[in-house]
A and B are shown apart, each in its own frame.
Chain A
Amino acid sequence: DAKTTQPPSMDCAEGRAANLPCNHSTISGNEYVYWYRQIHSQGPQYIIHGLKNNETNEMASLIITEDRKSSTLILPHATLRDTAVYYCIVRPGGSKLTFGTGTQLKVEL
């Protein structure tokens, strides 16, 4: 059973915010929400993670709903280099990563 649900693809104009949704309605209390991305022909890259509170780092912001059943990854000013597959993963801390098929984000001029 899939733990997360993501749209298969999204488009975003360069310079605009990219908002990538993820549903995880069966998340457990000890599970974190992680985001990784994979640029074509490269290995996945860690972006951000969170448990309950919203998080921000130099790459992105993570907004988790109060009931923790969904989250949104925000790239505030998307560039062409942000074109990639974005994976939302829920897991207990320290456990293995289980990737789904992710969201293919295409940033266009």
Chain B
Amino acid sequence: EAEVAQSPRYKITEKSQAVAFWCDPISGHATLYWYRQILGQGPELLVQFQDESVVDDSQLPKDRFSAERLKGVDSTLKIQPAELGDSAMYLCASSPGTGGDLVLYNEQFFGPGTRLTVL
């Protein structure tokens, strides 16, 4: 069964350092999402891509976070510099995201996440 891949699974860094997370969506999925999940809370959408274009980055702290999906396939989320409050799980999800009935429910498939700890 096709899955969303993420790496690394765990990352420990010191504040002010740069970190990057990678996501490979399910093959053929046009829409890719990055979420942040703070312990005890539900995931929060950071950025949504449709192919290589950003559709929604309204919750992305753009002073330190950046995301790209250059060829419309895999994606990288970067934090520079990392702060203590960035400690969280970073989840990637993908969905078919094409027209027709698929738009109606647009089931999202999530990867296992990257657990970031900032010291």
Range, interface on chain A:
20 to 34
Stretch of A21-29, A38-46, A74-82 that contacts chain B:
A38-46
Contact code string B85-105 (vs A, CB < 8 Å = 1, else 0): 000000101000000000111
Which single member of B41, B45, B93, B106 contacts A43 (CB below 8 Å)?
Answer: B93
Whether A32 contacts B45 in the complex (CB less than 8 A), given A42-B112, A43-B93, A101-B40, comes out as no
Cβ of B49 under 8 Å from chain A: no
B residues less than 8 Å from A98 (CB atoms):
45
CA distance A49 to B107 in the complex (A): 9
Most buried by B among A43, A94, A96, A100: A43
CA distance A12 to B90 in the complex (A): 30
B residues less than 8 Å from A45 (CB atoms):
110
CB B42 to nearest CB in A, in angstroms, measures 3
CB B107 to nearest CB in A, in angstroms, measures 5
Which A residues form the contact surface with B (CB < 8 A)? 32, 34, 41-46, 49, 85, 87, 93-94, 96-102
Range, interface on chain B:
20 to 34
Given contacts A32-B104, A44-B93, A99-B43, 12 further A-B contacts (CB under 8 A): A41-B115, A43-B91, A43-B110, A45-B110, A46-B108, A49-B105, A87-B42, A93-B104, A94-B103, A97-B45, A99-B44, A101-B40
Which B residues form the contact surface with A (CB < 8 A)? 4, 33, 40-45, 48, 56, 91, 93, 103-113, 115
Which single member of A34, A46, A96 contacts B45 (CB below 8 Å)?
Answer: A96
CA distance A98 to B108 in the complex (A): 12
CA distance A46 to B4 in the complex (A): 14
B residues less than 8 Å from A99 (CB atoms):
41-44
Nearest opposing residue in chain A for B115, CB measure? A41
Nearest opposing residue in chain A for B45, CB measure? A96
The answer on a CB contact under 8 Å between A44 and B43 is yes
CB B6 to nearest CB in A, in angstroms, measures 8
- 26 A-B pairs (CB sep. < 8 Å): A32-B105, A41-B113, A42-B110, A43-B4, A43-B93, A43-B110, A44-B43, A44-B91, A46-B107, A46-B108, A46-B109, A49-B105, A85-B42, A87-B42, A93-B105, A94-B105, A94-B106, A96-B33, A96-B45, A96-B48, A96-B56, A97-B43, A97-B108, A98-B45, A99-B43, A102-B42
